[in-house]
Structure 1
Amino acid sequence: MTPAGSTPDLWRLDAARTRSVSPENPTGVRGGGAQATEGTGAHASRLLGPGWKVSPSISLAPGETAVLADVSGPGVFRHFWLTTDRSVLRQLTLRMHWDDHPHPAVDLPLGHFFCNGWEELALLGSEMLVVAPAGGLNSYWPMPFRARARITLHNGSDRTVPVYYQLTYTEEDLPADAAYLHTEWRRSAPLGTPAVHTILDTTPGPGRYVGTYLAIQPGADGWWGEGELKFYLDGDTTHPTLCGTGTEDYFGGAWNFDLAGVYRTYSTPYLGLHQVLPPNEIYQAHQRFGMYRWHVRDPLCFQEDLRVTIQALGWSDPETYLPLEHADIATTAWWYRG
C-alpha cells in the first residue's frame, strides 16, 4: 500500500492538473483566482481593484468553523500552507474528511499537526513538515481522495484570528491501492500508573505507519528518555514485534541528547529534537521538549492491525529506572490506510 504521490517523478508528463484553494479562489476552479471584490485586503487594494490582493485571508471568529477546502476528486493534496495568530495554535482544531466519511480522518489541534505542541513557536525543517519564520506552517504529506475532500478549521479560542492559507492539489486518477492519510492525537496529563502512553490505539490494516510527534514535560528532575517505543503488529498482544532502545534513540539522538552538559536541538529531513524549553537548562522537571520522526524511508507496514505505545522512564539513581508518573505527554501519529 503506497500513498499516492509519495515519490513523484518530477520529469514525467502525465494527465494530472494542478489546482489550488485559497481565499482568492475558494473552490479551486480553473481560472477562478484573483477575482475577489471583497475581503480582508479590500481597503488596501481600493485604489487598484480586483486582482490586487483583495482577499488574501479570512477572519475566524471565536466558536466559528471555516471550510478551507471542499473539492471533488479524484485527486491528491500536495502542499498545505497556513499562517495565523501563533499564540492560538493549540486552540484551533484542524479536521479533514475524505470521501464523505462521517468521521474525520484528521482531527487534532492545529499546532500538533505541525509539531508545535507548546506555547512557543518551534521552527522545523523536514521533508514532510516545515515551520518557517515567523509562523509559516507547511505540510507536504500527500493526501489522496477519491470522491471528495473537506478540510475545516475551528476556532476554539476567545478571540478572532486571521487565517491565511493555500492548499494545492492535483486532479488525477488514483491507483487502486492508494491509501488515505490519518492522524491520532492523544494527551496524558498527568500520565499516571503505569507510566505508558498510547500513541496509536489499535487500528485495522492493511496500513503504513509514517510518523510520530512527541511533546513531553517529564515532571521529575534528571534524564527522562529511557522509555521504549513499542509497535504491536498484526495480532501482537503482550509482546510487540518492534521494540526500540530508548526515546532519544527512536528520534535519532543518543546519550540523553546531552552534549557537554546542554541539550542540542536538531532538525533533519526525517527526524529531530527541534524544541527545548527553556533552552539553557538541563534535566529539570519543568522543561518541555518537542521531537519528530518520519517513517518515509523506513515505513512500518502492517496487514491486520497496529498499536503504538511509549514508556515515560527516567532514573531514580544511576542503577534504577524511574517511571515518570507525573509526566505530561502529547503525541500525534500519522499513518495511511484504506
Structure 2
Amino acid sequence: MKSYIKGDWENGKFQKNISITSQKFGLHESTISNGKKSSFSGVLKAGESISTRVNGGRAIRKLAVKLNAVHMEQALRATVIAMEFDGKNTVWVPVGDLFGTGYKISPYKGLLSEVNEEGGMTLYFPMPFQESAKITIHNYGKEAIELVKMDVHHASWEWDERSLYFHANWRNYPNIETSEKKDVNFITISGKGKYVGDVLTLFNNSYHWWGEGDEKIFVDGEKFPSNFGTGTEDYYGYAWCSVADFEAPFIAQPIGDGNRSPGLTVNSRWRSLDVIPFEKSLKFDMEIWHWASTHMDYAPTTFWYGTKDAKAEFSESVKNVQIPVRFADKFEAEGFAINEVRGGEAIIQAFLLFDWSARNHLLWKGIKKNDVLKTGFYSENERLGELTMVFTHAADYVIVDVMLNDELIFENLDLYNEKLSIKKHPLRNGKIKKGNNTLKLIVKGANKANPKADKLGVDYLIVE
C-alpha cells in the first residue's frame, strides 16, 4: 500500500484524494441482493406501540422511517425504536438520535445513515440474527404521532462464529452543570464485541464553546485509556468551534447552532475504518469541558456489536425521553441555510473581539445593486410580537430591502456607518411561521458617502 509522503499536503495531493474518495462514498447507494421488505405504518396515540417481526436466519440491511407530528421536535425525542434479536433486547433509542438528526430534521448523508429534506431517515448498519427479530415503535409522548412509514429491508445471512448482534444505546444527561470539568459515560459494556460509532445531541445554553473535553476509551479493563483524544470537536472531525453544517462518509454535523450560542448541535462519527474490538469490556467516557459555567443538555447514542452475553451496564428510563426539548430564542444568521446566491459570496465571518452575539455574523460580500441572497431558517413554533433584526453597519456596507416570507419588512435599509458597529432594527408586529421560514435580501444600492460599498452583514433575528 502506497502511503503519503512529505510535500503531499503542500501540493494538494492529499486534499484532492480525500475529496475524490468522499465523493465516491457520497454517490454510493446501498444495494440488497435477494432482499425482502417488511413495512408498517399508522397513527399511534400517546402511550401506544406498534411492532413487526422478521423470522429466519436473516439480517436487517436497511431501516427507513418517517414520522409526522404536530410538535415534530418532541416527537423525534419521545418516539423510541426498540429492537430485539433472538429474544435479546439490544436497541432502545429515540428516533431522531438513532438516525443522527437529534430532535430537528436536519438533512445530511453519510455512509451508514442519512436524513432527507422530506424527513425520511435511513440507517444501513447490518443487523444479523439466527431465528427472529422484533422491531417496535413506542410513542412515549403526550400527543399522537403518524408513523408515515417504517420499512425494514432484510436479506439472508449465514450466521457463523464471527457474527455479532447489533446494539444501540442512548443516554441522557439533562441540564448538566458545566462549572467543573468532569467525565460523563457514553457507555460501559461487559462482554465481547466491537465499538462502531456514536451520535451526540446537545443543547448549549451559552454563548461560549462547549467541546474542549477529551474522549477516553478503556478497553478490556485497562487502567489508562488506549484511546485518549484531544477534544470533542476533534473526535467528531472539525475545529474552531465551527457552526457550519457538514457531511462526510464517516462524520457529520447536520446542525451546529449550539457551538457558539444557545442552540442545538448534533455530531456523529461512524468508525467503519477504526472499529474498536474488545474481548472483555469497553468503557467510553467523554470529558465535559465548557468555556462557561452554565447548564447544558447532553445525550450520546452509542453503536456497537456484541455476542449474546455482551450487555450495556445501564438502561435509560422512559421519563428521560419525555423531558421537553429546548430551542434558542434567537435565530443566529450564521445558522441560516443559504438557498440561493445571485451575486457575491455568502460566508460566515468570525471575529472573537467584536460584539456579534455569537462572535459571528453572516457576511455577504462582493455584491452590487440588484444582487439577491435567499436564506432560510426553522422555528419550532409560530412567534408573534416585536421582531428585531440586528445588522452589521460599516463604511463599505450597502442599502438593502429585506423580505421575510415574501413580505417586505424593511425597505431601503441603509447599513452605512463610518465605524464598524451593530444596530438593532425593530418591527412592531412581526411574525415567524412554525416550520420553515425564508429571508430574502435585495441590494438596492449604496450610500452616497461610499458608492463602492459591496458588503452586508446579518447578526441575528428575534421575536419578543
Residue matched to 2:157: 172
Q: Does 1:337 align with 2:310?
A: no
**C-alpha distance in structure 1 between counterparts of 2:306 and 2:108, whole Å:** 26
Query: Which whole-Å deviations, capped at 9, do the CAs of 1:254-295 have from their partners, x for residues lacking one?
Result: 2222xxxxx2110111002211237xxx622x2221110000
Residue matched to 1:18: 35
Residue matched to 2:84: 97
Q: Does 1:283 align with 2:268?
A: no
- Aligned residue among 221, 225, 248 for 1:235: 221
Report deviation, 1:116: 2.4
| 8 Å contact from structure 1 (residues 211, 335) kept in 2 | yes
Residues 167, 302 of structure 1: CA spacing in aligned structure 2 closer, same or farther, 3 A cutoff? Answer: same
Secondary structure of the 2:150 match is strand
| 8 Å contact from structure 2 (residues 91, 167) kept in 1 | yes
Residue matched to 1:294: 270
**C-alpha distance in structure 1 between counterparts of 2:290 and 2:77, whole Å:** 28
| 8 Å contact from structure 2 (residues 174, 297) kept in 1 | yes
**C-alpha distance in structure 1 between counterparts of 2:264 and 2:184, whole Å:** 17
Q: Which amino acid aligns with 2:58?
A: G
Residue matched to 1:154: 138
**C-alpha distance in structure 2 between counterparts of 1:17 and 1:271, whole Å:** 30
- Aligned residue among 176, 195, 198 for 1:209: 195
Residues 288, 195 of structure 1: CA spacing in aligned structure 2 closer, same or farther, 3 A cutoff? Answer: farther
Report deviation, 1:58: 1.8
TM-score by length of structure 2 reads 0.55
Report deviation, 1:327: 2.3
Q: Which amino acid aligns with 1:297?
A: L
| 8 Å contact from structure 1 (residues 80, 140) kept in 2 | yes
Query: Which whole-Å deviations, capped at 9, do the CAs of 1:4-59 have from their partners, x for residues lacking one?
Result: xxxxxx9xx9xx74221013xxxxxxxxxxxxxxxxxxxxxxxxxxxxxxxxx322
**C-alpha distance in structure 2 between counterparts of 1:240 and 1:149, whole Å:** 35
**C-alpha distance in structure 2 between counterparts of 1:187 and 1:138, whole Å:** 23
The number of residues matched between the two structures is 271
Report deviation, 1:165: 1.7
Greater relative CO (CA pairs within 8 A, separation 6+): 1
Residue matched to 2:185: 198
**C-alpha distance in structure 2 between counterparts of 1:147 and 1:252, whole Å:** 39
Task: Flag the structure with larger Rg.
Answer: 2
| 8 Å contact from structure 2 (residues 44, 146) kept in 1 | yes
Secondary structure of the 1:248 match is helix
Q: Pairwise CA RMSD of aligned residues?
A: 2.2
Report deviation, 1:82: 1.2
| 8 Å contact from structure 2 (residues 215, 286) kept in 1 | yes
**C-alpha distance in structure 2 between counterparts of 1:98 and 1:82, whole Å:** 19
- Unpaired runs of 5+ residues, structure 1, are 1-9, 24-56, 258-262, 316-321
| 8 Å contact from structure 2 (residues 39, 151) kept in 1 | yes
**C-alpha distance in structure 2 between counterparts of 1:308 and 1:113, whole Å:** 18
| 8 Å contact from structure 2 (residues 101, 254) kept in 1 | no
| 8 Å contact from structure 1 (residues 194, 325) kept in 2 | no
**C-alpha distance in structure 2 between counterparts of 1:89 and 1:222, whole Å:** 27
**C-alpha distance in structure 1 between counterparts of 2:235 and 2:227, whole Å:** 11
Residue matched to 1:81: 64
**C-alpha distance in structure 2 between counterparts of 1:217 and 1:296, whole Å:** 27
Give 1:19-168 correspondences, 5 Å limit.
19-23=36-40, 57-67=41-51, 69-85=52-68, 87=72, 88-101=75-88, 104-118=89-103, 120-163=104-147, 164-168=149-153
TM-score by length of structure 1 reads 0.75
